[in-house]
Structure 1
Amino acid sequence: MPYTTEEGGRLNNFAKEPKIYKAEPPTEGQKRNYIILGITATILVGGLIFVAFSVSNVS
């Protein structure tokens, strides 16, 4: 484990650094899936809001 000695003889331990990798841009299939999931989520949230307003007493 990597450590350094500070003033007074105290040890300061450092966590292992994670391996660095380069992020890859999404493929066309992943982009399509993101769009489909976004539309589905929007419809779901809109439906939940509609149901909440329709069953509430606020009109």
Structure 2
Amino acid sequence: MYTTVNPEGQLNNYANEPQMYYAQSPNQEQQQRYLFQGAMAVLFVTALMLTSIAVS
């Protein structure tokens, strides 16, 4: 962090910026895992909706 002082004596603190990097696309195994997690989430939400309809 570095600090600057303007002519009135006020301090300004600036945070250090993190180093930038490019994201990498997921490999085949990660893509299959994401697909499985998405399918499980859809089944879970569907079960919750059907349960709430059955109870009401």
TM-score normalized by the length of structure 1: 0.84
Question: Which residues of structure 1 form unaligned runs of 5+?
Answer: none
Q: Which structure 2 segments of 5+ residues have no match?
A: none
Distance, in Å, in 2 between the alignment partners of 1:17 and 1:41 is: 36
- Matched-pair identity in %: 36
Per-residue CA deviations over 1:6-53 (Å, capped at 9, x if unaligned) read 230211000111121111111111111111000000000000100110
Runs of 4+ displaced beyond 3 Å: none
How does the TM-score come out when normalised to structure 2? 0.88
Q: What is the identity, as a one-letter code, of the residue corresponding to 1:20?
A: M
Cα root mean square deviation, aligned: 1.1
Aligned length: 56
Q: Which has the higher strand share?
A: 2
